[in-house]
Structure 1
Amino acid sequence: MGDKDRRHGEGAAEFRSGFVCFVGRPNTGKSTLTNALVGSKVAITSNRPQTTRHTIRGIVNTAGAQLVLVDTPGLHRPRTLLGKRLNDLVHETYAEVDVIGMCVPADEKIGPGDRWILEQVRASAPRTRIIGIVTKIDKVGRDRVAAQLVALSDLLGGDADVVPVSASSGEQLEVLRDVLIGAMEPGPAFYPDGELTDEPETTLMAELIREAALEGVRDELPHSLAVAIEEIIPREGRRPEQGELLDVHAILYVERQSQKGIVIGRGGARLREVGTAARAQIEALLGTKIYLDLHVKVAKDWQRDPKQLSKLGF
């Protein structure tokens, strides 16, 4: 009870805590919603399906509760060993969380993909509470939102809570947070106040580089791209007024030579753009200046090779 006693006086409402996982088809706004609720970038967002590779936890702290948001890779029909491992990770997560938020966007009709995901969730976690979330409500009118709320309620069953929300505008974000908190049992805080994620900084850095590399590239690349942080070295000989500078060395792995050309671009222009975008995000994450050194290597068919998958952290 130590956490509760420190946060509340005598007679205060019981502290609530628990784990939440958002599910849905690709591009339903799950990672964006995680970042919006946490108030900081802990999950990479991209318009590419299967962008998320790790179960990054975002932590939402309020005066009386703590929500731990588990941002999983999207559930899909796997075609590679990597795909199977990612799916296994997702199924394990479903079974371990307290609440699952089923996300459907307001601007797309519910279809077979949504129903398939719901079947998978119920098979993996038959007793876990499901809350419906209609995302991207800023993109359509009120009538369309209302119709989608009814459709999602019908899909989940009449007893399920269904909440409309816009992660980009912040509309209904507090309502969703309060509904999620209300679904939690009384319990202690799992993480200290002020902590936003339990992911190692190197994992977040690698994900930010991968996100930058995926912007504006062809469909074939997302599944084939992995990033490893090789080393982080404080730059020596800096004067105090210059501040700290970290040398960050990272490798972007692709599966084929042709993909290497896509990532590097003509005369290295594309890779320089990736470095500029990723460096800004990593400096914001670390709160210090960095020099980002990126190299691209071919690791042939790494998605199908157990040894290479392990080396890359999968």
Structure 2
Amino acid sequence: MHRHKAASAGKPRDDVYRAGFACFVGRPNAGKSTLTNAIIGQKIAITSNKPQTTRHVIRGILHRPDAQLVLVDTPGLHRPRTLLGQRLNDLVHEVWSEVDVIGVCFPADEPVGRGDRFIASEVGALKAKVIAVVTKVDLVDQTTLAQRLLDVAELYDFAEIVPVSSVSGHQVEILTDVMVKHMPESPQLYPDDVLTDEPEQMLIAELIREAALEGVRDELPHSMAVLVEEMLVEGKLTRIFADLYVERDSQKSIVIGTRGARLKDVGSRARAEIEKLLGRRVYLDLHVRVAKEWQRDPKQLRKLGF
């Protein structure tokens, strides 16, 4: 059934096939999405240096000879200020209650703080195996790392603590071994060739949104949503029509830029990423629209997929 090479050394060798769901949690910028991408080896979760940019539950699937690890990418947990914030938090808790393993991420380059304690206390009550992942270890020296590991160990009785660097790949494989070890025995959950079970349109919308957020440091982090209105396949070309929604006219002009330069730049960056994802030529038509206060309007939230 498995068209794979034999398991390499270091894998759990109990000859049992394991499969299950896992997710990474942690305060904003703890490196959750980057880690998901490093494990799956493909860019599937939107990453940005802004908190709260992951909005949808995007699953990445790691296929191994002995296991299948399904990663669920949750939005960051935060104290909600808007209806959207509340929905994100509900979504987080819903996802957490359904996974087998939770990896709580702590960035090595920042001290353990209130946000970390809040998250550790939230996961404590769940039935999942909880492991701690100390991320970004490439950014600190050994002494700082040792201190961070001690601080993390004091927060909660984690099943394991694994330091990793998504950027250099340090211990990423060890982390997947640890996660697989805590998965239940189970047949394969997805076919071998599936990397993510999200519809393409959602991934495309996220890539456009990521390109649009790039470089606009503080002007419009969360008040932007992308809706792919239409995808037409014409021979070797895929035509994609998408709308970028912002809340105010001032934000619209930021996204469009002087004489449309910024939007053109966003379009070409997003197009390159979408072509990589689809493996074919893409024509991308982007329009910026203003949807007043969409984060507080249930009707608009539904239309935009929340």
TM-score, normalised to structure 2, is 0.94
Q: What is the DSSP-based 3-state SS (H/G/I as helix, E as strand, rest coil) of the residue aligned with 2:97?
A: helix
- C-alpha separation between the residues in 2 aligned to 1:6 and 1:292? 37
1:241 corresponding residue in structure 2:
none
1:257 corresponding residue in structure 2:
249
Change (3 A) 1:128 1:202: same
1:137 equivalenced with 2:137 (yes/no): yes
The AA in structure 1 aligned to 2:201 is T
Deviation at residue 6 of structure 1 after TM alignment: 10
**Structure with a larger share of its residues in helix:** 1
Aligned partner of 2:41 among 39, 42, 45: 39
- C-alpha separation between the residues in 1 aligned to 2:282 and 2:145? 44
1:233 equivalenced with 2:225 (yes/no): no
2:183 corresponding residue in structure 1:
184
Change (3 A) 1:275 1:5: closer
Q: Deviations over 1:143-177 (max 9, x none)?
A: 222221121111122x5200000001101011001
Aligned partner of 1:269 among 261, 267, 270: 261
2:121 corresponding residue in structure 1:
119
- C-alpha separation between the residues in 2 aligned to 1:164 and 1:277? 33
Q: Is the 8 A contact 1:253 1:297 kept in 2?
A: yes
Change (3 A) 1:187 1:170: same
The AA in structure 1 aligned to 2:225 is A
Q: What is the DSSP-based 3-state SS (H/G/I as helix, E as strand, rest coil) of the residue aligned with 1:134?
A: strand
Deviation at residue 120 of structure 1 after TM alignment: 2.2
2:151 corresponding residue in structure 1:
151
Q: What is the DSSP-based 3-state SS (H/G/I as helix, E as strand, rest coil) of the residue aligned with 1:203?
A: helix
The AA in structure 2 aligned to 1:272 is K
2:276 corresponding residue in structure 1:
284
Unpaired segments ≥5 residues, structure 1: 239-243
Aligned partner of 2:106 among 104, 117, 128: 104
Deviation at residue 137 of structure 1 after TM alignment: 0.6
Aligned partner of 2:305 among 270, 293, 313: 313
Unpaired segments ≥5 residues, structure 2: 7-12
Q: What is the DSSP-based 3-state SS (H/G/I as helix, E as strand, rest coil) of the residue aligned with 1:170?
A: coil
2:222 corresponding residue in structure 1:
223
Q: What is the DSSP-based 3-state SS (H/G/I as helix, E as strand, rest coil) of the residue aligned with 1:96?
A: coil
Deviation at residue 219 of structure 1 after TM alignment: 2.2
- C-alpha separation between the residues in 1 aligned to 2:291 and 2:188? 42
Change (3 A) 1:6 1:209: closer
Q: What is the DSSP-based 3-state SS (H/G/I as helix, E as strand, rest coil) of the residue aligned with 2:110?
A: coil
The AA in structure 2 aligned to 1:162 is I
Aligned partner of 2:69 among 67, 70, 82: 67
1:164 corresponding residue in structure 2:
163
Q: Is the 8 A contact 1:221 1:259 kept in 2?
A: yes
- Number of equivalenced pairs: 300
Q: Is the 8 A contact 1:48 1:222 kept in 2?
A: yes
- C-alpha separation between the residues in 2 aligned to 1:231 and 1:18? 34
The AA in structure 2 aligned to 1:95 is S
Q: What is the DSSP-based 3-state SS (H/G/I as helix, E as strand, rest coil) of the residue aligned with 1:223?
A: coil
- C-alpha separation between the residues in 1 aligned to 2:150 and 2:28? 22
Q: What is the DSSP-based 3-state SS (H/G/I as helix, E as strand, rest coil) of the residue aligned with 1:213?
A: helix
The AA in structure 2 aligned to 1:191 is Y
- C-alpha separation between the residues in 1 aligned to 2:18 and 2:193? 17
Change (3 A) 1:144 1:290: same
Q: What is the DSSP-based 3-state SS (H/G/I as helix, E as strand, rest coil) of the residue aligned with 2:103?
A: strand
The AA in structure 1 aligned to 2:61 is I
Deviation at residue 12 of structure 1 after TM alignment: 7.7
The AA in structure 2 aligned to 1:154 is E
Aligned-residue RMSD, C-alpha: 1.8
The AA in structure 1 aligned to 2:182 is A
- C-alpha separation between the residues in 2 aligned to 1:142 and 1:108? 14
